[in-house]
Chain A
């Protein structure tokens, strides 16, 4: 199946309408509306407690919503949970496998619960164990695996039924850099084979790297939605250029302000850095270098500074991600 994320006619495989979950008085998910296209990697980005996992739990039929409607592959999450469970794969936040069983036994057990035949299980688990590089460790107890191995086994288990949609709840949290990269590579590879992936993370960088579209969640609500470019553009219509310069003068600063594409010029507190907001990006680099050359200023570096998703997040929620 080809990637369809930019196709306007793309089918929505997951649709949420006013989906709400309350735990007692606490509203974990507050009337969220969103649509996930078939074949995309859809990211839920947000701090802990934003409602990402609760949303995933509702979509994967683990907990019932308090109100609102959600459909996965056209099936209602409350009344048609049985169908949904048979077409989704879930990598839960916790290990969620049996430490007393070997990797192979774990997959075999899960495979049986999906109703696969012994032959299918054998074929599938061998393939998946190779895919997640655990084939050589298949006879070891899952309990003694490292964090990264456990997470890869968890992924393999969730892929046993050849799911149409894969939900991954913070699959890289707590992993070392190599394991993270490996996990992301496998995720991308699965997506390239046509699998829709719903991915939650609190890592901005990760969301930006692998998600086609991102929903930023905060306190149970959707703060923003779009591609990472769209999200960044949301917080500012200007581009930022930083110029490192020796002893910038007021004269130069004033001259800069007079340039037609310049919106705002500031001197950084440390005094050797000018921050310029520009209305456009194209050709700005050459114009600026020419400008400083003319003014005989000694420029050390001119660079464009892109807003990060973190900036977007802080701007949108007025809250530091590390809270």
Chain B
């Protein structure tokens, strides 16, 4: 085998030389302050982004509430939304149209609709649906909003359901107590006929049970309402302790079924009581019996009335009085990828233009070819315009290619006008290129360029909303995001490409981009000098 080095080699490790190398590198590193500052700051930024973003759920998502119903339940739901911290209810509007305008403007991300007659429906045992419209632009925000709202609806629904079952329970209990205390006097009324078929069936079943079997049934049932049947008389167990929070759907459903069955039995028993009273009026003690009848009739009337209300309810109405449903914010069938692509395009243009400038100016500075251009009678404005325009056009070509690829490979449907998209891309590419031009004008080497450019490109990458939800970030980073062109470029592109907005609907981000462009170009003309010191 050929030796890898020629001649003899040093084989000792010289501590002094090691220190000399360390010292030299230290000097080299500390001398280039333009590089070292970003190198030091960058990881802090990363910690901020990753440390606070990952795992954090988005908070204070801009929300508009449309309350068509202003009942107590509606207010309770709104209170719950406000308490969640996830939603920041910025607007209360009266129509969906108004709310959608706010959504389009980007003032809010979520619309929550409380339907008309909510309380009425719930009180009458019908289901009432809460409708949620979520802007999918930011997938993390969207999914958090949906999850949170689903949880709120389920929680409210369970509470209402519990309350209803409780009321039902109380009515049943009250009715049964009255029956037990007032009507069930076996010595007086020997035979009570069950009047309804289901009550009769229950009676038949119950009558067949021995005392031991009854005990067993009572023990086996995990605290359901039980009815106990003695040899001749229907009695209702008034122990209501079963009412823990229902663990699952079926057990709750069973309870409701049982309650409704109970109601029927109570109803039948009540009728039987009346019947027995009617029978007893034929006996000698007519006056007493008539009196009994009036008292009992009055006593049983109120609980019976409320029981009858409950028996009319649908089981779902009791079990899940509130339901959650979603309406698409834009078009139908928009997927998270649809909203990611405009952000990626915005990000790509920014990074490409910024880095391209590093090559264009910082690189030409190093090679000296920029010096050659400065030696010719060519104005700064000409050099700037030529350089800017090339990269603007190049970035437009690149993003057009990206859009076409997205359409064919990722099945993106472009909703808005291509001309408007082109205008936005052009302005935005101008801002991005201009920023690159500024950075490359103030640095001396490409290495410095990379370091300084990173200060812009990294925040853009993380704060553009393409990769991480901005709402989940610390407030300071959310403020930083407001100063990045990528935020507005992405917003305008999302609106035009995916949400199907007209150019007038994205006039705000476009205006901001124009302001950026004006500022950036002014700075470019200030910092781009012929001075090649």
Contact = CB atoms under 8 A, between A and B. Distances in A.
A162 to B, nearest CB: 13
Contacts of A99: 367
Contacts of A43: none
Contacts of B367: 94-96, 98-99
Main secondary structure of the interface of A (DSSP, over half): loop
A113 B530 contact: no
B530 A61 contact: yes
A299 B442 CA distance: 69
A186 to B, nearest CB: 19
A62 B529 CA distance: 10
Contact of A94 (B368, B373, B531): B368
Residues of A in contact with B, size category:
20 to 34
A115 B377 contact: yes
A184 to B, nearest CB: 22
A286 interface: no
B533 A63 contact: yes
A228 to B, nearest CB: 29
Contact of B371 (A64, A96, A161): A96
Nearest to A57: B532
B409 interface: no
Contact of B374 (A62, A88, A95): A62
A85 interface: yes
B375 A85 contact: yes
B378 interface: yes
Contacts of B377: 82, 85-86, 113-115
A94 B367 CA distance: 7
A98 B360 CA distance: 11
Contact of A110 (B368, B372, B531, B532): B372
B530 A98 contact: no
Interface string B375-407: 111100000000000000000000000000000
A212 B430 CA distance: 52
Residue from A90, A99, A113, A157 having most chain B Cβ neighbours under 10 A: A113
Residues of B in contact with A, size category:
10 to 19
A95 B367 CA distance: 7
A40 B373 CA distance: 26
B369 interface: yes
Nearest to A90: B375
A79 to B, nearest CB: 14
A92 B376 contact: no
Contacts of B376: 85, 110, 113-114, 161
A62 B378 contact: no
Contacts of A61: 374-375, 530
Nearest to B386: A113
A63 B378 contact: no
Nearest to A99: B367
A62 B375 contact: yes
A82 to B, nearest CB: 6
Contacts of B369: 95-98
Interface in A21-75: 23, 57, 60-64
A62 B378 CA distance: 13
A37 B374 CA distance: 26
A310 B373 CA distance: 36
Contact of B368 (A60, A96, A113, A158): A96
Contacts of A85: 375-377
Residue from B371, B531, B532 having most chain A Cβ neighbours under 10 A: B371
Interface in B480-533: 530-533
Interface string A85-119: 11010101111111100000000001001110000
Interface in B153-187: none
A109 B132 CA distance: 61
B373 A92 contact: no
Contacts of B531: 62-64
14 contacts: A62-B371, A62-B374, A62-B375, A62-B532, A63-B531, A90-B375, A92-B375, A94-B371, A96-B367, A96-B369, A96-B372, A98-B367, A114-B376, A161-B376
